């Protein structure tokens, strides 16, 4: 990176961190530290909710997802707006009325302590591991740019986020997130504009989309129903509805964001804002990935996008094998370039026969390129079993550092790091809140002073930060991060959502029934994932429905076994 | 739940939720048209 890039990056990052610390100074009680005194307006709530979900994983992995697999991942978000409606109707008013700090406090009032603690524990496991993944995201960037070890960068970036989150609590998180989202939106629009301007002069935006479409990258909607197909209209609307209802309704990292609204209306409008803007935002991010793919049809892509790993293999005994793959790859890339230029001309001439013929040839060449690329991870792991052999998370990063102008690189790096910081901060804040409110205050020490609870909140946030750093160090083994984080969510969210839906809508079911139903449902879902029973989005639906049915049946059996009172 | 604080402009919360559903349907239809056009 150039000096300008470093200047832009550092000024942006540290400016925002200091702003958050300055705005959040003086927190003296849990209400301020955990819920910002419930004073925030709807747009602040909306931006905070969006920033919490949009981590660096979104900006690194989503373009990679569309680069490799096309636009169909956008369907994943189709259930989100519908989930926002249900939250506005039921969850928001309920949580506000009961004046809770965490979503799980409500469960003790409705059921019993053990159900509250089980749900809170499931949340802590899931969110703890997910936050580890979000720390890992920006660490990739920094370690690639600075050529440092990824573990060192994980520790340093983790400590920066822990610092301002522990100091300022929810207010620090929320105020930094407003600036983060503003810069993120600006960065996204700028990226999309730049990618299109960097295409050859004769290739416009529509031409780029036409080329991507012929290479099967623009199939945004797939109406075929298939249990094992991860992304289609039905899994997106139904499975996505359950996943997002669980995530926004029961995950404290989001509940804690919209409970900061100054009224029920402000919290609701913030969620509605999220519901309206999320799909267009994700569409733009995925489109950037497709445009990068199109760019690499005209200009040679790297064989392997992770520079650090490709440099290692070039210095190893397998260098000759790698170079041989590179030669084949260069020949095929040159072939693709010729074919795509012919295709571009065919579009201009509206020559349908030539369009179909060249598209077919291009797809065959692309398939050969994919087969060569598949050989690289085998070579990397032969040389070093611990090599980071999946380069999906580096595609967008490599494109930006190789091709974007100076200054913009720094801004894009800042966008990605800010996104990670926003999500990580929300995650740590929620882990600290749940630990203190549900476990420490709820069970072990219900009668301590506010000052003591505040101190324990800070310490537990810090302890979770250390745990998440550990999880981040393990994260490199998990492949494409945006899928990993959503698979992780799908393992737990169905059960947690089921517990809340029973709480809201099945008033006759008590704590014992829902507790045992939750344990059985969770065991089944983990088993279903291990045996690969179905695409992961459906696990949310299965877990939720299974729990509801089991809880109802267990309660029914329990009621029938109760002795009759005969007078 | 009571709706003591109606939203501005749209008068009732039901109108807001209806707007969200309509916007989502429009987005899905636009994406379908997008998919078909660039096939």
A88, A94, A221 member nearest B32 (Cβ): A221
Lowest mean pLDDT among A50-59, A461-470, A499-508: A50-59
Instruction: Supply A218's token pair.
Output: 């623009």
Instruction: Supply A29's token pair.
Output: 């009680």
Q: What is the pLDDT of residues A160-213, one digit of tens each?
A: 888 888 888 887 888 888 888 888 888 888 999 999 999 999 899 999 999 999
- Residue A415: what pLDDT? 81
Q: What is the pLDDT of residues A211-253, one digit of tens each?
A: 999 999 999 998 888 777 778 898 889 888 988 998 899 999 9
- Residue A507: what pLDDT? 92
Collapsing DSSP states into helix, strand and coil, what is residue A189?
helix
Indicate whether A80 pLDDT > 60: yes
Q: What is the pLDDT of residues A322-363, one digit of tens each?
A: 999 999 999 999 999 999 999 999 999 999 999 999 999 999
- Residue A480: what pLDDT? 62
B16, B23, B31 member nearest A220 (Cβ): B31
CB contact under 8 A, B5 and A265: yes
Interval B13-18 mean pLDDT: 92
Interval B6-11 mean pLDDT: 70
> How far apart (Å, rounded) are the C-alpha atoms in residues A416 and A558?
52
Q: Does A265 touch chain B (CB under 8 A)?
A: yes
Tell me which chain B residues have a C-beta less than 8 angstroms from the C-beta of A85.
17, 20-21
Tell me, rounded to whole angstroms, the distance of Cα A459 from its chain centroid. 26
- Residue A479: what pLDDT? 61
Q: Provide the 10 A C-beta neighbour count for residue A511.
A: 18
Lowest mean pLDDT among A122-126, A164-168, A199-203, A515-519: A164-168
Q: A305, A296 in Cβ contact below 8 A?
A: no
> How far apart (Å, rounded) are the C-alpha atoms in residues A80 and A42?
18
Concatenated DSSP letters of A519-531: HHHHHHHHHHHHT
- The pTM is what? 0.85
Residue A304, C-beta contacts closer than 8 angstroms, at least 6 positions apart: A310, A313, A373, A376, A380, A391
pLDDT range class, residue A476, cuts 50, 70, 90? low
Indicate whether A499 pLDDT > 60: yes
Instruction: Supply A70's token pair.
Output: 């096309």
pLDDT higher at A427 or A31: A427
DSSP structure class, residue A479: S
Q: A500, A546 in Cβ contact below 8 A?
A: no
ipTM of the complex: 0.90
A78, A89, A218 member nearest B34 (Cβ): A218
A212, A265, A272 member nearest B20 (Cβ): A272
> How far apart (Å, rounded) are the C-alpha atoms in residues A335 and A461?
54
Interval A388-393 mean pLDDT: 83
Interval A255-276 mean pLDDT: 92
- Residue A477: what pLDDT? 65
CB contact under 8 A, A268 and B38: no
- Residue A563: what pLDDT? 61
Indicate whether B39 pLDDT > 90: no
CB contact under 8 A, A89 and B17: yes
Interval A438-467 mean pLDDT: 90
pLDDT range class, residue B1, cuts 50, 70, 90? very low
- The mean of the pLDDT values for chain A is 88
pLDDT range class, residue B5, cuts 50, 70, 90? low
Indicate whether A399 pLDDT > 60: yes
- Residue A282: what pLDDT? 92
Indicate whether B2 pLDDT > 50: no
- Residue A540: what pLDDT? 86
Lowest mean pLDDT among A2-16, A240-254, A255-269, A423-437: A2-16
Q: Provide the 10 A C-beta neighbour count for residue A26.
A: 8
- Residue A2: what pLDDT? 82
CB contact under 8 A, B23 and A276: yes
- Residue A482: what pLDDT? 64
Using N-to-C axis directions, what is the helix angle for A511-530 and A481-505, rounded to 10°? 160
Interval A474-484 mean pLDDT: 68
Nearest to A59 by CA among A491, A399, A425: A399
CB contact under 8 A, B13 and A268: yes
- Residue A522: what pLDDT? 94
Best of B24, B27, B32 to substitute, by most chain A Cβ atoms within 10 angstroms, is: B24
DSSP structure class, residue A238: I
pLDDT over 70 percentage in chain A: 97
Burial call A521-554: b when 16+ CB within 10 Å, e when fewer:
bbebbeebbeeeebbbbbbbbbbbbbbbebbbeb
Longest dimension (CA), chain A: 93
- Under 8 Å CB pairs connecting chains A and B tally to 66
Q: A7, A406 in Cβ contact below 8 A?
A: no
Instruction: Supply A266's token pair.
Output: 């402000």
Backbone region of residue A463 per phi and psi (left: phi > 0; alpha: psi in -120 to 50; beta: other values)? alpha
Indicate whether A567 pLDDT > 90: no
pLDDT higher at A425 or A23: A425
Q: A339, A360 in Cβ contact below 8 A?
A: no
Q: Does A268 touch chain B (CB under 8 A)?
A: yes
pLDDT range class, residue A536, cuts 50, 70, 90? confident
Indicate whether B4 pLDDT > 70: no
Cα R_g (chain B), whole angstroms:
15
Q: Does B21 touch chain A (CB under 8 A)?
A: yes
First-to-last alpha carbon distance for chain B, in angstroms, is 47
Q: A467, A221 in Cβ contact below 8 A?
A: no
Phi/psi of residue A220, each to 5°?
-75, -35
Residue A37, C-beta contacts closer than 8 angstroms, at least 6 positions apart: A31
Tell me which chain B residues have a C-beta less than 8 angstroms from the C-beta of A94.
1
> How far apart (Å, rounded) are the C-alpha atoms in residues A163 and B10?
42
Backbone region of residue A41 per phi and psi (left: phi > 0; alpha: psi in -120 to 50; beta: other values)? beta
Tell me which chain B residues have a C-beta less than 8 angstroms from the C-beta of A279.
24, 27
Instruction: Supply A111's token pair.
Output: 């059921």
Instruction: Name residue A261's beta-bridge partners.
Output: A40
pLDDT range class, residue A283, cuts 50, 70, 90? very high
């Amino acid at each position: 990176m150039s000096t300008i890039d470093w200047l832009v990056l550092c000024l942006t990052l540290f400016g925002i961190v200091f702003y958050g610390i300055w705005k959040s100074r003086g927190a003296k009680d849990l209400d301020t530290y955990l819920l910002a005194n419930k004073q925030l307006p709807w747009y602040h709530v909306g931006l905070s909710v969006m920033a919490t979900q949009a981590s660096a994983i979104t900006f690194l992995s989503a373009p990679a997802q569309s680069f490799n697999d096309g636009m169909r991942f956008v369907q994943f978000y189709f259930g989100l707006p519908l989930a926002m409606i249900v939250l506005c109707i039921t969850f928001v008013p309920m949580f506000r009325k009961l004046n809770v700090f965490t979503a799980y406090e409500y469960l003790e009032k409705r059921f019993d302590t053990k159900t509250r603690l089980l749900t809170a524990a499931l949340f802590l496991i899931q969110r703890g591991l997910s936050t580890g993944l979000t720390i890992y995201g920006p660490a990739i960037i920094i370690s690639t740019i600075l050529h440092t070890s990824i573990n060192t960068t994980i520790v340093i970036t983790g400590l920066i986020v822990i610092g301002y989150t522990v100091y300022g609590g929810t207010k620090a998180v929320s105020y930094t997130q407003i600036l983060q989202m503003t810069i993120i939106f600006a960065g996204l629009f700028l990226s999309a504009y730049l990618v299109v301007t960097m295409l050859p002069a004769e290739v416009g935006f529509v031409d780029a989309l036409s080329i991507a479409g012929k290479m099967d990258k623009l199939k945004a909607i797939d109406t075929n129903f298939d249990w094992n197909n991860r992304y289609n209209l039905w899994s997106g609307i139904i499975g996505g509805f359950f996943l997002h209802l669980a995530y926004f309704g029961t995950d404290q990292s989001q509940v804690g964001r919209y409970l900061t609204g100054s009224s029920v209306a402000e919290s609701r409008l913030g969620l509605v804002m999220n519901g309206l803007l999320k799909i267009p935002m994700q569409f733009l991010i995925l489109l950037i990935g497709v445009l990068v793919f199109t760019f690499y049809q005209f200009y040679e892509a790297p064989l392997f996008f992770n520079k650090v790993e490709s440099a290692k293999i070039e210095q190893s005994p397998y260098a000759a094998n790698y170079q041989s793959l590179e030669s084949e790859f260069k020949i095929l890339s040159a072939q693709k370039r010729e074919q795509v230029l012919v295709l571009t001309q065919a579009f201009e001439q509206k020559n349908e026969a030539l369009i179909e013929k060249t598209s077919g040839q291009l797809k065959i060449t692309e398939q050969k390129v994919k087969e060569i690329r598949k050989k690289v991870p085998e070579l990397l792991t032969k040389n070093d079993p611990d090599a980071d052999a999946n380069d999906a998370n580096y595609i967008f990063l490599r494109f930006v550092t190789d091709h974007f102008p100076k200054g913009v690189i720094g801004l894009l790096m800042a966008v990605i790091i800010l996104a990670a910081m926003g999500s990580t901060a929300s995650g740590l804040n929620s882990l600290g809140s749940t630990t203190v409110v549900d476990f420490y205050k709820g069970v072990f020490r219900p009668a301590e002073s506010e000052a003591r609870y505040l101190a324990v909140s800070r310490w537990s946030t810090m302890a979770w930060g250390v745990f998440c750093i550990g999880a981040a160090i393990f994260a490199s083994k998990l492949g494409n991060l945006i899928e990993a984080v959503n698979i992780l969510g799908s393992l737990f969210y169905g059960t947690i959502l089921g517990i809340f839906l029973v709480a809201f809508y099945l008033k006759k079911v008590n704590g014992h029934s829902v507790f045992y139903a939750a344990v059985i449902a969770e065991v089944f879902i983990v088993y279903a994932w291990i045996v690969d029973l179905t695409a992961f989005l459906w696990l949310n639906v299965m877990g939720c429905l299974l729990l509801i049915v089991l809880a109802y049946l267990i309660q029914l059996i329990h009621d029938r076994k109760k002795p009759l009172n005969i007078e | 739940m009571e709706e003591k604080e109606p939203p501005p402009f749209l008068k009732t919360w039901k109108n807001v939720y209806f707007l969200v559903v309509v916007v989502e349907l429009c987005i899905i239809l636009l994406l379908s048209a997008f998919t078909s056009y660039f096939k």
